[in-house]
Structure 1
Amino acid sequence: MDRYVVIDLETTGHSPQKGDKIIEVGIAVIEGDQITDHFTTLLNPGQPIPSFISGLTGIMDEDVQEAPSFEEMAADIAGMFQDAYLIAHNVPFDLGFLNAELQRLGYEPLHNPVLDTVELARILYPMAPSYKLGQLAEYLELEHNDPHRALSDAHVTAEIFLNLKEKLSSLPYETITHLQGLEKLFKSDMSLILSKLEQQLAYSTEEPQHIETYRGLAFRKFEPQNKAIQEISLSYGDYLDNIYEAEGTMESKMARYEKRIGQRKMSEVIYDAFQTSHHALIEAETGTGKSLAYLIPAIYEAVQSNKRVIISTHTTQLQSQLLYEEIPFVGDIVPVPFQAALLKGKGHYISLERFEQELSDPDQNNYDTALTKAKLLVWLTETKTGDIDEIQLPSSGYFFFKKISTEAEGRMDPQSPWFKHSFYQHARRRAQQADIIVTNHSLLCTDMFNDYQFLPSYDKLIIDEAHHLEETASRHYGLKLDYVSMQYVFNQLGASDEAKEFNKIIRGYSYNPDDLPLENWDSILMQAKYEMDDLFRTLFQYVVDQRRKNKSLSDTGRIQYRFDQGEDDTDRWATVKEMANRLIFFIRDLIHILSMIEHYFNSRKALEKRDAEEITKQILQLQSFIDRVEHLFLDDQGDKTVKWMEVEAYGAKNAVYLYSEPLDMSHLLSEDFFEKKDSVILTSATLTMRNSFSFVRERLGVPEERLITEKITSPFSYDDQVQLLIPNDFPDIKYGSTEDFVYATCEAIISLAEITEGRMLVLFTSYEMLRKAHSVLKESLDTQDYVIIAQGISSGSRSRLKKNFQTYDKAILLGTSSFWEGVDIPGEDLSCLMIVRLPFQPPDHPVYQAKADFLQSKGKNAFFDLALPNAVIRFKQGFGRLIRSTSDRGIVFVCDARISKSRYGKFFTQSIPDVPITYDSTGRLLEKAEQWF
């Protein structure tokens, strides 16, 4: 069958069962790999078209008034699919609608073989950023002139399918064979197409030059990496002059960057710190161009000294930006060749050995796992890194990836034939030979607290987004434990008769039951799961009971509770400790049985390498549970750590998360990090409070005796670009009701939205208040004019919400937590930033409470030494969302009366760039905003 019919429908809604009807049909016919025919018709649905659908498609009631009904066209439409594949971009929708309408009229439903271009694109274009029709067309550089019209959508879907068919035929034989093995679980009927390709490739002698195969797995060949020793004969001053003052081509290269006065100053400070073995704290305000400012001296230092320099960031977004945008650009402008590499933790890289082992396991092949395997098979023919962050997996695909990451394979033997095919080892080799290594705070801290085993040795490093270092270090030095993680490990082990890890380890081996009594495994595993469930349920109820009278929820909807508060209730806490002891007892028994198996088969030289590795891995996981339970419930850490629980307020009765973190990281960082390194440069747009670095210096333990501090001011003209408006008539939330405050905030949002025509980012400090505001705005705003996008309510990731916000002309984006930083919305897309509440951490948060107690025991003021500086830094991050270039212009509206009425309010206003500030009634502020725009 070589005929494909592509269909797209426009409808009055999503459900034919609820009476929705088809209003337009678009069909494209493919024969001989060419689009040979088109068909389209409007259809009269016999009911009004909803305004939302009309707005989306442009199809009005009057357009379909004279159009035929579906009944008149049904036979013709169904006849077009004779002897053909049916293709759609999301087949269940289009075919489901079509068959529902045909059956309603007494026709037989269509039973054609189907091909779903959404599913096929997810498999064959694993690195595509989105699989929505328009964005996929953009990714494949296809024109899509009339989106949300049936014929245009059908034609673009046909072009996408031809691209997919071509991509499929370019894959190696091994990949096609594995896809054929998974095909029965796909929605698309690919069997005949794959069989035909398999036969063609089986007799082909040509293999793609960039592909390598091993044990039936095809993957992209690693590119050789050879380090050439470079020398710099220029002084640093001449080197900078060469970059910043060159004429002609150099200027054109720098043209995409606005002139940034502080950039050169910052690079000189970093160079001086490197030369004098000093650490540096550098606050580089928005617009400095700090990435370039630190890359330029880092490259000079690395090449001149022939010693690598590490650059660490907090977010993967900045890592990617550095590696794929900034570093290639710097490579064009610096007068010396250099090499840069990205290195992440083992959990980011796929293990080909583990994947090959799991690929043939049919026991776990549900749809998501099959789709994940298929995506990975195709991705392996493309990826140069093996870094899973390059693609998006289905929801449960990340559980599967945990089993096949380099982390899961344990310590690999360099003599293993898989060693040379390891993406992680390849990344390490690249890093060993690189001048600049880009990594993240997470791996940096893992390396730091594990005797520097994970990163290649270094003496100098630059930490960007340095305001996150303490939090990341605390998390890595501390620990966490939760019910879901433990349950996952126990379930993966499984009983002796389940097709899980324990069964896989012992099956295929013969043993004497007297020598190796394994009959206890099932009962012990059952007891361990029971004790675990009992412990977590008891903890859940314990926290709920303790906080019933004063229950406060965190931003994530969890109740939080400190362990040391629980120890006051000695009887119940003694019961909890006893339960923890019983759980440890049964986990030790499980470890004992696994150890017996290992010893028994090893002594007979019968244990296969894969099974030996699996036993070691499972023993280490189980031992880590024992270590964590002992630390959390049985070890007395005095006043050095804070331990707390979080329970899902409306979740399962065992949804409990346990945490422990050190109260003070400064001594650990000072001794294990700053004293051991020649020069650590810490930079961020937000490190100071009222121009002082003392807070961040003390929290991180940076030694004063060899420290340089520098504040690089922004090149932006804030006087002309920003107005800070603070109302003096807002309800005081401290004495009034939250509802009054939310209503006043929403009234201000609506009024400002009319002035700025949307283009507003509203920052909240709690999801609860965001949800209330969203509800009020939906009732009050004309949603025909304005689109409201709300974090945690609108679906999609942070980047997807941001992109949607930029897509609409009149949009209001409500955000909390992650939206306070790292979100760039330059130009006219953002004209108004509203800060609803000053971003203080909740005073009842366990970590804050414990740190506050710790500071007070040292004679310090918890508010001024902890709460206020953290809130000011967060406020500065939020403020920085508005102005991202010299041409940006907008207003910042702060609803929180504390910024003007409290004695500490000036700490906020004096920590941001100098901007015109107006305190007045809301009405007058709105008039001023209108005049200013």
Structure 2
Amino acid sequence: MNERFVVVDLETTGHSPANSDKIIEIGIVVIENDNIVDEFSTFFNPNKPIPAFVTNLTGITDAEVQNAPLFQDKAAKITALFENSYLVAHNVPFDLGFLNGELYTSGFSELRNPALDTVELARILYPQAPGFKLGQLADYFQITHGEPHRALADAHMTAKLLLTLMQKLRQLPYETIAHMLKLEKGMKSDLNTILSEQYQALAFSSDEHEYMDIYRGLAIKKTTDIKPERQDFHSFFGSFLDEIYEAGGAMEQHMSKYEKRSGQREMSETVFDAFKTKKHALIEAETGTGKTLAYLLPAVYEAITQNKKIVISTYTTQLQSQLLDNEIPLIHQLVSLPFRVALLKGKQHYISLEKFERALASERTENYDVTLTKAMLLVWLTETETGDIDEIQLPSNGYIFYKQISTEKEGAIDPSSPWFSRSYYQRARRKAQQADILITNHALLCTDMFNNYQLLPSYDKAIIDEAHHLEETASKHYGLTLHYVQVQNTLSQIGSTDQDDWLGKLLMNTPLSDDNVFSSEGWDNIFGNTKYEVDDLFRTLFQYVIDQRQKDKSLSDTGRIQYRFDDENEDPEKWGVIKEIVSRLTFYLRDLIHLLSSLKQELESNEIRENHYLEDLNMHTEALQSIIDRMEQLFLTKSEHAEVKWIEMEAYGARNAVYLYSEPTDISTLLANDFFTQKESVVLTSATLSIRNTFSFIQQRLGLTPENVMTTKVNSPFSYQNQVQLMIPDDFPDIRHSSLDEFVAAVCDAIISLAQITDGRMLVLFTSYDMLRKAYYLLRETIDTSLFMLIAQGISSGSRSRLKKNFQTFSQSILLGTSSFWEGVDIPGEDLSCLMIVRLPFQPPNHPVYEAKSNLLKNEGKNPFFELALPNAVIRFKQGFGRLIRSANDRGVVFVCDARVMKARYGKYFTESIPAVPITHDSTYTLMKKVQEWF
């Protein structure tokens, strides 16, 4: 049986046989002994019209199936093909569901074959693949195919994919196969026979995996740290750059179609000057400058010539990957000098092998996502050199499981422990110590700063890329967060004295002395009271905010209600009740810590064999103490510095889905004292730092003194005058004097008109989730959805990157986005031809952080609008504007629906902060004609 695989792919009139959808085409490919030996395909007449979107996707028309056989005419032949074989499909439930539905209707027995799902197998065996759709995997494995979304072509692709997957499965170590056999029952694919045969074959094989480290049943890829030889390097920086940037230099030799950009060299020289003069620098490098390469060259030069570590910090993991995968290898080619680069992230990014080994040994019944995650991790460990979970895409619930087995959940490991020498996090720290260039992220940089520089290796010079996010990240790290799920998860991980919980298992293994104060009954009583008070607190907070917000029902751009409570005088009586609950809760939590301390004494005196219980106990105690500390800071004590505290909750969510936050109102003094005065030179760069060619706003926000800061603006090499048209209608309803519905209707009319001119390819940026939602539902009623794919953040399912991929997959798409879509979304080329900015991106005046910062500025005699609201909006506007032109060949229109950009006295702050482009301010009708002519 295991030598015959029958691969099937179907094209259908829809997604569900239960909704009377029918098969319109079948493709079958037969594999025997690792060779494709047969194929079969045919159209079927579904006896119903084929929907337009299916025809668009597959190219199959009603005319092509009109004279095709009915399914029942071919049912016997299809059933015969599947005899004594595995049934294979890319998403088995879909294809098997349709086949069995048609067979049942035709009077045939349903297929009961063992099944293999190539989606599942690909996720397990190639966890580092960029995606698991058939087309993505075909590209990844360079599988050639005919027409995509046609049954036989897709069946052939799936067959070739299966052969690749089986080959990979046969290469897995014995230990990995043994674990996968235990997990097999929880999978969709019937792998038992295949895995058992492989297990038996390996059991009697003498072959050892020379590249694997086998420890406690885990097969882990061996890694060796190669230390490059140090070489003396003497060269003036100017001649060093000449050899790279100038005619006949390294850039010309190693980069195809290299064009010299004067701004790139200018930026390199500015970074070098900042390092040499021991000054800080603010460098705005517009799109297309090549800033990453521009700052890496002086960083490497400084590290090699001065033997000093340079830290490079980014905000997104996407930029870190770009640095490691693209820019650093190019620098190695350009410089031809040995230098060491390391990446260091926070503990939560690295898997703990000890925790994972214990999770595999657990006999608890897991849900499908956890089973799949365990299988993926087993294979990944045979390949990864970093143990960084960002290398793979886990299923959604898999991340919840992963959090329990990350290094963050470990206690302090004894350096003599075999786990310590295998720890990915410790290995990353060792590499960071040895590195010349250390890449990290703003979060870890700020955590290090906040913890007196105990986490990162010591450094004097740093480059902060995506620097417009530094203030926000630092504020979060000097502040705190607490929410219901976080608290309940902390308690659930400890559990009651029930034998299935962590505490119950600990008590089974720990004989208690007669004088120990711990009692199961006492613990369960206090534990129950604690959980009750947690629930009561968050439900009371939810109701309190609802009561206070009856007058103001506006939502944030994420669709949440936000309520500031740092000086709570609105309803002292009800707030007093909340503080009483907090006090009771902290007492109960202290009682739990006291009882855990008595168990800790028992473990230490008994020298219990299961030492991990002691590690876990310390971790749980610290987690409970952290909750107490945060509760007290939020509700019971005054901070030394000015701060803002607020509550966020889902408007339509669970009544305890409440999030508590606090942040410093002004981070500038903290950054000045804790960072900029501590470091010799910090270079901050981004495409959006200046406002009307001045850096004063960002300097003030970050606490940089003008006398110790160099500032440079590096202009884009792109020809914005020829590549972009900025359009502003003068006949839109004024949102201040007309209804929101009128304004949204005008926006939707403009979207439809522009989409017809540009064939979709539109990104529409909103400042409010409420407005986005209104626009989406109005568009869905008025636009031809068979022509245009409408995708909306927060409504269409999927992450930001998934929505972006969907947008690029369909030729005529309109993507509605808010918040995170204003930056970091690159859609180059013809995929994006029109960017619409619905409103100027001012923060809502009632946003808790903005409100608190405004009050602080007012108290200092300053104007909050010009000192805070306007600069933030301009920087956000620049980020949004930057989504359109990503290369020298891009062309497009920026359509701004907000006439304030032309009519308000502050409008020029926006237009004079972006590259100079032609601006047209006219009627919507005239603008549409101009757009049509321009394209």
TM-score (norm 1): 0.98
Provide the residue aligned with 1:167 in structure 2. Answer: 168
Provide the residue aligned with 1:501 in structure 2. Answer: 502
Residue of 518, 524, 527 corresponding to 2:526: 524
Residue 132 (structure 1) shift: 1.0
Residue type of the alignment partner of 1:667? T
In the alignment, does 2:260 pair up with 1:259? yes
Residue 258 (structure 1) shift: 4.0
Task: Report which stretch shifted further, 479-488 or 557-566.
Answer: 557-566
Distance 2:925 2:93 in 1: 52
Residue 607 (structure 1) shift: 5.7
Residue 577 (structure 1) shift: 0.3
Provide the residue aligned with 1:155 in structure 2. Answer: 156
Task: Report which stretch shifted further, 59-68 or 687-696.
Answer: 59-68
Distance 1:832 1:508 in 2: 65
Distance change in 2, residues 1:589/1:507 (3 Å): same
Q: Deviations over 1:14-46 (max 9, x none)?
A: 222221222222111111111111111212222
Residue type of the alignment partner of 2:187? F
Indicate conservation of the 8 Å contact 2:243/2:249, yes or no: no
Distance 1:466 1:302 in 2: 22
Distance 2:259 2:495 in 1: 60
Indicate the SS of the match to 1:362: coil
Residue of 580, 585, 595 corresponding to 1:583: 585
Indicate conservation of the 8 Å contact 1:12/1:23, yes or no: yes
Provide the residue aligned with 1:909 in structure 2. Answer: 911
Provide the residue aligned with 2:332 in structure 1. Answer: 331
Provide the residue aligned with 2:727 in structure 1. Answer: 725
Residue of 641, 661, 671 corresponding to 1:669: 671
Task: Report which stretch shifted further, 456-465 or 132-141.
Answer: 132-141
Provide the residue aligned with 1:435 in structure 2. Answer: 436
Alignment of 1:685-834 (within 5 A): 685-834=687-836
Residue 778 (structure 1) shift: 2.1
Residue 489 (structure 1) shift: 1.6
Indicate the SS of the match to 1:401: helix
Indicate conservation of the 8 Å contact 1:601/1:607, yes or no: no
Provide the residue aligned with 1:558 in structure 2. Answer: 560
Gaps of 5+ in 2: none
Distance change in 2, residues 1:24/1:597 (3 Å): same
Distance 1:796 1:564 in 2: 35
Residue 225 (structure 1) shift: 3.0
Residue type of the alignment partner of 1:459? D
Indicate the SS of the match to 1:689: coil
Provide the residue aligned with 1:875 in structure 2. Answer: 877
Task: Report which stretch shifted further, 890-899 or 299-308.
Answer: 890-899
Provide the residue aligned with 1:602 in structure 2. Answer: 604
Indicate conservation of the 8 Å contact 1:473/1:665, yes or no: yes
In the alignment, does 2:823 pair up with 1:836? no
Alignment of 1:637-676 (within 5 A): 637=639, 640-676=642-678
Indicate the SS of the match to 2:194: helix
Indicate conservation of the 8 Å contact 2:242/2:249, yes or no: no
Q: Percent identity?
A: 62
Residue type of the alignment partner of 2:851? Q
Provide the residue aligned with 2:453 in structure 1. Answer: 452
Distance 2:831 2:602 in 1: 67
Indicate the SS of the match to 2:453: coil
Distance 1:539 1:53 in 2: 49
Indicate conservation of the 8 Å contact 2:27/2:40, yes or no: yes
Indicate the SS of the match to 2:281: strand
Distance 2:53 2:514 in 1: 70
Q: Deviations over 1:515-570 (max 9, x none)?
A: 34232111111110000000000000000010012111112221111113533311
Q: Deviations over 1:47-93 (max 9, x none)?
A: 22222222222222222222221122222211221111111111111
Distance 2:251 2:684 in 1: 29
Indicate conservation of the 8 Å contact 2:275/2:681, yes or no: yes
Residue type of the alignment partner of 1:25? I
Indicate conservation of the 8 Å contact 2:250/2:334, yes or no: no
Distance 1:596 1:52 in 2: 66
Q: Deviations over 1:219-251 (max 9, x none)?
A: 111122325323221100010001012517641
Indicate conservation of the 8 Å contact 2:8/2:95, yes or no: yes
Distance 2:237 2:334 in 1: 15
Q: Deviations over 1:384-407 (max 9, x none)?
A: 111000111111111111111111
Residue type of the alignment partner of 1:675? T
Distance 2:929 2:47 in 1: 49
Residue of 883, 887, 890 corresponding to 1:888: 890
Q: Deviations over 1:112-170 (max 9, x none)?
A: 11111111111111011111111111111101212222111111111111111100000
Q: Deviations over 1:296-338 (max 9, x none)?
A: 1000000101111000000111110011101111211124222
Alignment of 1:302-341 (within 5 A): 302-341=303-342
Provide the residue aligned with 1:63 in structure 2. Answer: 64
Distance 2:317 2:182 in 1: 34
Residue type of the alignment partner of 1:409? E
Residue 885 (structure 1) shift: 2.0
Gaps of 5+ in 1: none
Residue type of the alignment partner of 1:525? F
Indicate conservation of the 8 Å contact 1:242/1:335, yes or no: no
Residue type of the alignment partner of 2:829? G
Indicate conservation of the 8 Å contact 1:227/1:434, yes or no: no
Distance 2:202 2:258 in 1: 49
Distance 1:119 1:788 in 2: 29
Task: Report which stretch shifted further, 500-509 or 731-740.
Answer: 500-509
Residue 906 (structure 1) shift: 1.0
Indicate conservation of the 8 Å contact 1:639/1:854, yes or no: no
Provide the residue aligned with 1:195 in structure 2. Answer: 196
Distance 1:553 1:256 in 2: 49
Distance 2:618 2:385 in 1: 30
Task: Report which stretch shifted further, 137-146 or 330-339.
Answer: 330-339
Residue of 671, 680, 683 corresponding to 1:681: 683
Distance change in 2, residues 1:835/1:717 (3 Å): same
Indicate the SS of the match to 2:396: coil
Residue 476 (structure 1) shift: 0.8
Residue type of the alignment partner of 1:722? V
Distance 2:27 2:830 in 1: 37
Distance change in 2, residues 1:256/1:507 (3 Å): farther
Residue 643 (structure 1) shift: 0.4
Provide the residue aligned with 1:95 in structure 2. Answer: 96
Indicate conservation of the 8 Å contact 2:89/2:95, yes or no: yes
Alignment of 1:8-47 (within 5 A): 8-47=9-48
Distance 2:780 2:766 in 1: 17
Indicate the SS of the match to 2:737: coil
Provide the residue aligned with 1:413 in structure 2. Answer: 414
Task: Report which stretch shifted further, 617-626 or 246-255.
Answer: 246-255
Q: Deviations over 1:429-459 (max 9, x none)?
A: 1111111111100010011100111111100
Distance 2:827 2:243 in 1: 33
Provide the residue aligned with 1:184 in structure 2. Answer: 185
In the alignment, does 2:245 pair up with 1:244? yes
Provide the residue aligned with 1:389 in structure 2. Answer: 390
Distance 1:565 1:737 in 2: 34
Distance 2:173 2:209 in 1: 7
Indicate the SS of the match to 2:886: coil
Provide the residue aligned with 1:478 in structure 2. Answer: 479
Provide the residue aligned with 2:77 in structure 1. Answer: 76
Distance 1:187 1:757 in 2: 41
Structural RMSD (CA): 1.5
Indicate conservation of the 8 Å contact 2:25/2:42, yes or no: yes
Distance 1:658 1:587 in 2: 18
Distance 1:744 1:870 in 2: 27
Indicate conservation of the 8 Å contact 1:260/1:287, yes or no: no
Residue type of the alignment partner of 1:382? E
Residue type of the alignment partner of 1:928? K
